[in-house]
Structure 1
């Protein structure tokens, strides 16, 4: 993982943040699963600066889609993984697109996630994953999982931006 910013965020707590992915210079090694296009760095939407990561997903009842980064990562010293997710204005979101931030860790690829949140067309959400109980020295993958609503249809684009660790 590369770090764009590391340091004190101010305030009395002395909390530090480390931004790992802002997609200003490309996909930064991220991939997509069960998608119809992408991923690519785009200026169509961004939560910070001018770029985000975009994939196109075929919306169908209960279908799962992923945007993720694989490798072996050591995030010792951080307690949370955070990301911002946005849905396009097009596509049949139905009753909403389920989203969650996740990590896979250890030799058995144990899974931990942020729990489900829902976005609709043009919706934005900030996700937070508590890393308590995760082997922070042996993370194998992290990313965003999307699950289509039962009444979804068509194709939509989803965007991820500002993926970072927090302690």
Structure 2
């Protein structure tokens, strides 16, 4: 079953998965916070297919930037949410760019994330969020948080692709 705008469900990353966003047909309802441009579907990079979601950000120590989708989602029957992220090759990443895959669930928008990982310019990383303890039938928002670190400055682009649920 595919939840984006078009597509055939894809294969996300192997058996037991459910495609959720691949950005082959636009932004698929995703938004951004604390961006200087975007988000938009781009062919500048992709983890799967030929397109991904891009947002332009202005880095500084502790700056927080988001690419996300809000609504009412039911992730029941799945134990993991996965996404691949990448940072552009330009911009001053300082001590790296922090990345977290997250969900907000329930009426209080309770936050759960995959834990902090760091990427360097041009590096891509698959993020995995364990959904145990999450009310998976009441997801209100899911996405990726990008966090500037000490010494980071200037503009760069960040990318998200191949967002999928895993059994």
Q: Does the pair score TM above 0.5? A: yes
Q: Which runs of 5+ in 1 are unaligned?
A: none
Q: Deviations over 1:120-161 (max 9, x none)?
A: 100100000000000011000000001101100110100000
**1:83-120 C-alpha deviation (Å, 9 max, x unpaired):** 00001010111110000000000011100000000001
Aligned to 1:159: 159
Runs of 5+ unmatched residues, structure 2: none
Structure 1 stretches of at least 4 aligned residues deviating more than 4 Å after TM superposition: none
Q: Secondary structure at the match of 1:125?
A: strand
Structure 1 residues 110-149: aligned runs within 5 Å: 110-149=110-149
Q: Give the match for residue 36 of structure 1.
A: 36
User: For residue 85 of structure 2, what is the aligned residue in structure 1?
Assistant: 85
Output the CA distance in 2 between the equivalents of 1:50 and 1:74: 27
Alpha-carbon shift at residue 5 of structure 1 (Å):
2.2
Q: What does residue range 63-74 of structure 1 map to in structure 2 within 5 Å?
A: 63-74=63-74
Q: Residue 2 of structure 1 corresponds to which residue in structure 2?
A: 3
Q: Which has the larger radius of gyration?
A: 1
Q: Is the 1:6–1:17 Cα contact (8 Å) retained in structure 2?
A: no
The TM-score, its normalising length taken from structure 1, stands at: 0.93
**Alpha-carbon distance between aligned partners in 2 of 1:74 and 1:6, rounded to the nearest angstrom:** 19
State the TM-score, normalizing by the size of structure 2.
0.93
Distance 1:38 1:6 in 2: 25
Q: How many residues align?
A: 162
Counterpart-to-counterpart distance in 2, 1:6 and 1:160? 16
Structure 1 CA distance, aligned partners of 2:150 and 2:132?
A: 32
| Residue of structure 1 in register with 2:19 after alignment | 19
Deviation at 1:16, TM superposition (A): 1.1
